[in-house]
Structure 1
Amino acid sequence: MLLPDLSSVSDLQPLADDMRKLRYALHCCPELAFEEVQTAEIVASRLKEYGYSVETGIAGTGVVGTLRLGSGERRIGIRADMDALPIDELNTFSHKSLRPGRMHACGHDGHTAMLLGAARHLAQRQCFDGTVHLIFQPAEERGYDSGAKRMVEQGLFTRFPCDAVFAMHNHPGAPAGTFMFRKGNFMAAGDRVFVKIVGKGGHAARPHLANDPIVAAGSIVMALQTVVSRNVDPAQSAVVTIGKIAGGSAPNVIPGEVELSLSVRSFDSNVRRMLKERITRLVHAQADSYGLHAIVDYVEGYPMVTNSDAETELAIAVAKELVGADRVTEQMAPLMGSEDFAYMLQERPGAFLRIGNGPTDGGNTLHSATYDFNDENLVVGSAFWARLVERYLPIQ
């Protein structure tokens, strides 16, 4: 039997206009974490139209489309995230957000459109042998109790068994249509720390009658700068960032309390534990030294994204076949950002990869109010997913 060629970029080109219109529709109507009702309805409707078996309501608004062909026993899962961010969009193009305070500032509209394009092509071509589970996930941006975590906890891989799982994210700063991979630890674990320094408020002219939490907060901010530089092996990677300080309401009033919010990133489980212990002890010690009380809420967030070797090597081979070796980075530098696909990779082997989104000129960076997914990626990203499925589930 003469087997058909694997899917190529040119095979997906006829779907380009439809994918672009779909992305624009999604971009216009962004929805925040666990509120992706309209997006989920669009995804489910499309999948049913293409002939997939569809399950909805997983982790609230999650959708899984399943297509089985032939007698093959292997099963592959591919995830796309659907949620937007609480940002007022500053773009002026025709498909800008119609919902104030919400926008697709991370390209999840593109991720969803790419996977739906691949879904349509796979159903039309029917050139694989096995089972495909397409996972449309809510709440990747949540930072804690995320969509991936909830889907896994609600039995995602029991209901939809997968031998391997894959996901893709756009990457501003790299040329559009290029692919980036990394075997092993790829993206950092991300934790959040919420600190409240409780003192005694009073009049700005009578500081001796108060106990100023702002002074203590300043000392804590400076002390936290030593956590990485003096506690983490220089050969390791970690970041401690104080992203928010809030306290006081007037220049002539000493407030009774001050709040700090921290982001903590790490690549090693031992380093992660040490950071938690050191930050907690340091905050309490600094507050105590000023006669103040500290309340520390240390929220452990996403784990590290760790790609398995075999699945990453397969994905690299597919990308090279698709766009050429010169447009593929096999082992890019680790990224300090975090990604909740890590929860799925804790349960199943797989790979998380990046696709270049073009230059970052004009504020075209992730989580920017002027960000937009690059439409050049729609066809090549969909072709990658289709070819990966055909390589993972080959017709014998």
Structure 2
Amino acid sequence: MICLVTQHFNINRILLLIIGLWPYHRSPLVELHLILLFGTLMTFIIFQLTTFITSECTLDLIYKVLSSAFLFICFAIKYNSFWINADILRSSLKQLQDVCNEITDKNEIAIIEKYGRKAKHITIGLILLGICCQFIFILIYIWPYILIFKTKSRSHSPSYIETEYFIDEEKYFYLITLHRHAAICIGLLAMVATGTMLITYLQHVFAMFNIACYRIEQAINISQKGGFKNEEKGCKEISRAVNIHRNAMKLSNFLISNFEGSFFFLIAAGMICFCCNLLRIASFTDDIGQLILSLTILLILYVYLFLSNYTAQKITIYNEYVFATVYNVRWYMVPIRIQKMILFLLQKGTMSFNVILGGIFVASMQSVASLTSASISYFTVLYSTRQD
């Protein structure tokens, strides 16, 4: 038997435990841990927005504050989505485990393990990317101090992320720096942990689609041998293929539909953040740190946008692959009884199965291009008004 949590979700479990979002064993201490981390993230967003209270509200200030604040709003949305949907995530993992418990064929187990390994590789890759982004955030703040040390100047590091704490920022400089980098670390970790959890889950859904194809091919091969017993075995395999295919669609729909509201707000916040950072880049003068910060934020947003849509599009591709398998096998050489069952599968294949993100658009690479194009269009309009 395959134990998904210990074998395939172990890295995701550790990441979610660190930020208090693992859906099991939610003790009062874990809830306190979660509140402290989420509170750190939310207070940093608030202290960015309070800049508008004490500073003159110019377009440059608006773009500078929103370019970073909305990144952290994206982090908070992802964090909160897993917090409020803990029961949904727990139920999804249970259903997935129940499906895997029914798998006994060694070839089918090998398919599950193959996609489990692939999910781990993706998770490790995104963890490394998150570490690189965290390193860049730290580097752009410590680099000016390296220059200060070389020139023996006492000037302070420029503030790339505008904040207003209503205290003496010179006196409490180290506490403010600690708060800022803690919020960045929590936000990046939340984005990586929640994103990789969804990717790992959907990788197992892909495995289920692949197993459905395998069962269809096995059913046809068995039925071609002739005999009543082989015909019965073939019918049974077709039924099992239909069952796991239906479960794959059910599990993917169940998980993504419950995160629909979170995806909607995440898309909206991401587009605002994308536009503001494009404006920051377009107005670049000689501040390399600000340029690197904006490019890093754009990288984070685009990687997340690309991976979420690419992974969701693969659900449609794998679903179509099941029906392509039905078309390609020699179904015309099997008994009439099985041909009738296959006919129902072929009719089902005429209906496309798409994943809707945020309840507004079909997840696909075309949607990535559309969102990017829309963001650039908004940026062009805002930049032209700014020039005027």
Normalized against structure 1, the TM-score is what?
Answer: 0.23
Greater strand proportion: 1
Normalized against structure 2, the TM-score is what?
Answer: 0.23
Greater helix proportion: 2
